[in-house]
Structure 1
Amino acid sequence: MAVSLKIFRSSDQESGPLRIGSRLDKYRLTRRLGEGGFATVYAATDLVEDRKVALKIPDNRYLQNSQSLDDMQREVRIMAKLDHPAILPLKDARFIDGHFVIAFPLGEETLADRMTRRLSRATAIDYAVQMISAVGYAHEQMVLHRDIKPDNFVLFPNQVVQLTDFGLARFESRPHDVSGSGTLGYIAPEQAMGKPTYRSDVFSLGLVLYRLFAGDVPEYPFDRLPNFNRLRKGLSKDFVDLIKKAIDPTPNRRFRDGVAMHNAMSKIKFPLTDRSISLTGSNAYAPMTRRAA
């Protein structure tokens, strides 16, 4: 029987203000990395393990109701379930001095940051392989991410890219209505209407790939497929067709999930027209299986 885990906050825990240099148990905050709608992400040093980490710390106002605590518990449970080289691993999750702290390895930058500089097609293909594998694995584990975008892929040395931020994610065994949360420019039309499916994550990932190889995303929303002339230069027809299928505005014309997209990519031997890269035998493309959505 599955063990029920609850996030408890002691009534006598008082949370003081967080400042750079503050210490939370074994973590010392070194700089602020970013701030979202309900949480701030800090770079910190793990003083016990002597390594750099990223700490996601929700605003204390967000912790005042049970629904928010349930949301955090869901995010932690989802990340604890996922074990894949292209998904950012969870290191720690608990209340420290009245603050709820979620700890991850600290990357070098996000994919969004990296795409502001020139990127070779070979490197972009390497990233694409890993990202498709990550989403395929998440879907194989019945996890719907709902916020796939360049900012939620973190880069590490040796061209490793990992998917992160499962704050909107859900365990998904069947379609059901939820809030239309997501990021404008990457959210699928049906997800914006509150009806996300695995095909919605495929759409968002397809737009990330489009931007990775074209330099920008199509004007959104679009009722017809955008112009692919900028993609065709240097990319094989099979790979361009994969991106086309992923971002089709009609959900039923897309891959049914990341597993199907992953398996389709595994059949593309040469993603570049000059055949300088071969994906044959790539460990990232071991076959995945999941029942059809």
Structure 2
Amino acid sequence: MDTSKLIGGRFRVKDRPVSGAMGDVWPAEDTKLGRTVALKFLARRRLRQQGAATEFTDWTVKRFGREGVAMARVSHAHVAQIYDTGEHEGELYIVMEYIQGRSLAGHLKEGPTLTLERTVRWTREICEGLDAAHSREVLHHDIKPDNIMITNEGGVKIVDFGLASFADVTQSHTGVGTALYKAPERWAGSPGSVRSDLYSVGCVLYEMLTGRPPFGNSQDDPMTVGRMHQDNSPAPPSAHRPGVPDQLDLIVRILLAKDPGDRPRSAEAVAVVMGDIQHSLGVEDVTAATGRGHVLDAVDSNAGHSERIRELDRRIFELELRFGPYGQAVIDTRIEHAELTGQSGDTRGAAALYNRLGRDCQDLFGPYDARALNAFEGVARWIARSGAE
């Protein structure tokens, strides 16, 4: 490709490209606006030479264009912005935000495992960027460390939105770079969904916590890795790294659920949880920071109930991620949690749990909703029992 000419009559290539499976990324000067941009070319000729489908039709070209248009509508601090699309000497290109920094993959190759604070913060920012794209009905399909840039200021920028779904048209589903992070349903032929992206986030989070992906490595046969995603369950991150909080083990397990319906309902829900964990790190126990520190009192009061109370607390956390804080399953489990807390001997803790549930139901359903009134009946009942004792 002749780069001595202005690309699109406007962009002057400034340096050597960075090459990838789908094409090359060139830093360039926008001569009109006087800024540096990144030009990402889709190498159609190279893909054909590598065995991509010869029917690289107008449909695929139009799809590429639609992806560019869709991403141009997504404006978020943690998503690399797309400015324009075009064609030069028969090669399609996208004009993107130029990011000064390096990929998460580069950070992971440094050696020592990332700190918990940095891991949690970057996961939150990844999910915030994904949520912005998902709200525009744009899926990524290829979340992995190579597609997550860390700026020189230490923030996340997700790159290559849209190109990954385009890659699925022209390449097999067994590329090594994708295999380590691809959701089980995509190995079974599904085009993927919001929750497929979240599975990939779970793989990336696992690697940030442990220094390794949950299944396989880059030298393994991709189909072998795919079977692992479909059939195997990884050890929790804490098995590889002592000191990982229980909530991070739990959220990894939920993100890596085989059934998409068992994963969190949205990237926003995961971002909120990661924000809570980020706030708690170095301040106080993670469980207490999420508003459930009262559980510890109940646990100490009756050892016979302790494991079940902990189990319910984990279950509430999981259900809130999947269905939202006011799903009926969440409310029912919170009631069970409050009752068991009272039965363990912590009557005041039970009253406090019911009181919080009642206030939450009032806020969402109104002051006279039956769920709120039933919760406040529970408050009165356990307060009365506390006085009698």
Report TM bin, short chain: 0.7 to 0.9
C-alpha spacing 1:187/1:122, structure 2 compared with 1 (3 Å): same
2:102 maps to 1:109: yes
Q: CA deviation at 1:64?
A: 5.9
Q: What SS does the corresponding residue of 1:138 show, helix, strand or coil?
A: helix
Structure 1 or 2: more helix by fraction = 2
Shift of residue 230, structure 1, vs aligned partner: 4.9
Counterpart contact for 1:32–1:43, Cα < 8 Å: yes
Partner of residue 281 from structure 2, selected from 263, 272, 275: 272
Change (3 A) 1:228 1:35: closer
Structure 1 pair 27–269 and aligned structure 2 pair: CA distance change class (3 A): closer
Residues 56 and 102, structure 1, Cα contact 8 Å, conserved in 2: yes
Which one has a bigger Cα radius of gyration? 2
Structure 2 segments unaligned to the other structure (5+ residues): 48-54, 167-171, 216-224, 291-322, 328-389
Larger strand fraction of residues: 1
Q: Output aligned runs, 1:91-106, within 5 Å.
A: 91-96=83-88, 98-106=90-98
Partners of 2:70 and 2:136 within 8 A in 1: no
Q: Indicate yes or no: 2:36 matched with 1:52.
A: yes
Secondary structure of the equivalent of 1:28? strand
In the alignment, the residues of structure 2 paired with residue 109 and residue 18 of structure 1 have an alpha-carbon distance, to the nearest angstrom, of 27
The answer for the alignment partner of 2:314 in structure 1 is: none
Q: Which amino acid aligns with 2:127?
A: I
What is the one-letter code of the residue matched to 1:76?
G
Partners in 1 of 2:103 and 2:5 — Cα distance?
A: 25
Q: Residue type of the partner of 1:106?
A: Y
Distance 1:102 1:276 in 2: 46
The residue number in structure 2 matching 1:243 is 252
Deviation at 1:204, TM superposition (A): 0.4
CA distance in 2 between partners of 1:271 and 1:36 (Å): 40
Q: Distance in 2 between matches of 1:239 and 1:208?
A: 13
Deviations 1:235-268 (A, max 9, x none): 3322332122111233232213323323433443
Asked if the contact 2:145/2:204 (under 8 Å) is kept, the reply is yes
Give CA deviations for 1:22-63 in whole Å, capped at 9, x if unaligned.
5423322211112223x2222223334333321111225379
1:203 Cα offset (Å): 0.6
Q: What whole-Å deviation, never above 9, does each CA across 1:101-154 have from its counterpart, x for those lacking one? A: 211122222111222114433333321121111122222332222111111112
Residue number in structure 2 paired with 1:35: 20
Matched, 1:83 2:64: no
Instruction: State the SS of the aligned residue for 2:82.
Output: coil
**TM-score, length-normalised on structure 2?**
0.58
2-structure distance, mates of 1:71, 1:94: 13
Question: 196, 200, 214: which one pairs with 1:200?
Answer: 196
The letter for the 2-side match of 1:35 is G
**Correspondence 1:134-283 to 2 at 5 A:** 134-165=129-160, 166-169=162-165, 180=173, 183-195=178-190, 196-219=192-215, 220=225, 221-222=228-229, 223-230=232-239, 233-268=242-277, 270=279, 272=281, 275=284
User: CA shift at 1:90, angstroms?
Assistant: 0.8
Aligned twin of 1:14:
none
Give the superposition deviation at 1:186: 0.4
How far apart are 1:180 and its partner, in Å? Answer: 5.0
Q: Is the 8 A contact 1:236 1:270 kept in 2?
A: no
Equivalent residues of 1:234, 1:273 under 8 A apart: no
Question: Does the Cα contact within 8 Å between 1:127 and 1:161 map onto a contact in 2?
Answer: yes
User: Distance between the aligned counterparts of 2:61 and 2:266, measured in 1?
Assistant: 29
Question: What is the DSSP-based 3-state SS (H/G/I as helix, E as strand, rest coil) of the residue aligned with 2:150?
Answer: strand
What are the Cα deviations for residues 172-210 of structure 1, in whole angstroms up to 9, with x where unaligned? Answer: xxxxxxx85871010011011122222211110110111
Percentage identity across aligned positions? 25
What secondary structure, in the 3-state scheme, does the structure 1 residue paired with 2:26 have? strand
C-alpha change, 1:124 and 1:91, in structure 2 (3 Å) is same
What is the one-letter code of the residue matched to 1:132?
Answer: C
Note closer, same or farther for the CA distance 1:224–1:101 as it changes in structure 2 (3 Å cut): closer
Report how many aligned residue pairs link the two structures: 257
Classify 1:272/1:237 alpha carbon distance in 2 versus 1 (closer, same or farther; 3 Å).
farther
Alpha-carbon spacing, 1:163–1:112, altered in 2? closer, same or farther (3 Å): same
Aligned partners of 1:268 and 1:87: how far apart in 2?
A: 22
